[in-house]
Amino acid sequence: MPAKKSVSSGAVVVLVVSFFAGIALYLINWPALHKPDVEELQGVLRPEARELGAFALVDQNGQAFELDRFAGSWSFVFFGYTFCPDICPTALTTLGTVFNQLEKQGEPMGSLNTFFVSVDPQRDTPEVLRGYMRYFNRAFTGITGEKGQIDGFARQFGAGYFIEPESGPGEYLVSHTSSIFLVDPKKRLLAQFSPPYSAETIAEQFRKIKSLY
C-alpha cells in the first residue's frame, strides 16, 4: 500500500510541473504568437530600417532641430508647405485624427511626434509655420531651414519636391512627395503611408509596427 501511494504522489507532481511548465512556455512565446505578420504591412514597412544621418534645421520656435529630436519617440514626418492647397491640409488633418484615436486607445502621447518639414523655406518662416500648425494640432511642430539642409534631409527619406514657375510675384505652387513617413525611437526610418489616407488604417498599422519594434 505505501508503494502505491508513493507512485500516485509522484504522478501528481509530474502533472503539476508539466502544467506550470506549459504556462511558462506559453508566456515566453506570447509576444511572438501575437506579433502581426509582416505581410500585413507590405507596402508600408520598409524592407530594411534606414538609420538617419546628421542634419541641421530649425523648428517653428527658432530652436535647433537635429537628429537627437527623434531619439526616444515615434515620429511622423511629412514634407509640404503652408501655401499647399490640398494634400498638406489633408495629411495634417488625417494625422490629427490619428493622434486622437491613439490617445483614446491609451497610447502615451508624450512619446509621439509629428514634424511638418517645409519645402518652401522662402515663405515658410518659423512664425508662419507656428501659426499654421495651430490649425491642426498644437502638438505638431513645423520645421524649416536653409534650402540645402532641407534638400539633404529630404533625400534621406527619398522625398522630392519641385518649385513650379511663378504665376505672379511670390505666387507659386510646389510639387512634392505626398507620403507620411514614420521614424522610430532609434532614429530609423521604418515606414511610409501613401495616399489616399485613412486615419483608422494609419493608427492600426502604427500599433502593429510598434509591436514589431
Q: Report how many helices (DSSP H) and strands (DSSP E) the chain contains, helices first.
A: 5, 10
Identify the bridge partners of residue 57 per DSSP, sorted by sequence position. 65
Q: How confident is the model at residue 154 (pLDDT cuts 50, 70, 90)?
A: very high
How far is it, in rounded angstroms, from Cα 57 to Cα 106?
A: 32
How far is it, in rounded angstroms, from Cα 113 to Cα 183?
A: 10
Q: How confident is the model at residue 43 (pLDDT cuts 50, 70, 90)?
A: confident
Give 94-128 pLDDT, tens digit per residue: 999 999 999 999 999 999 999 999 999 999 999 99
How far is it, in rounded angstroms, from Cα 132 to Cα 14?
A: 67
Q: How confident is the model at residue 26 (pLDDT cuts 50, 70, 90)?
A: very low
Q: What is the residue whose three cell numbers read 529630404?
A: 154
Are 207 and 198 contacting, i.e. CB atoms less than 8 angstroms apart? no
End-to-end alpha-carbon separation of the chain, Å?
A: 58
**Every domain of the chain and the residues it spans:** 1-34, 44-212
pLDDT at 40: 74
pLDDT at 42: 77
Number of C-beta neighbours around residue 13 at 10 A: 10
Average pLDDT over every residue of 51-77: 98
Q: What is the residue whose three cell numbers read 502621447?
A: 109
Are 154 and 160 contacting, i.e. CB atoms less than 8 angstroms apart? yes
Give the CATH architecture of domain 44-212: 3-Layer(aba) Sandwich (3.40)
3-state secondary structure of 184: coil
Entry pTM: 0.82
Of the candidate ranges 21-30, 71-80, 150-159, 170-179, the one whose mean pLDDT is the lowest: 21-30
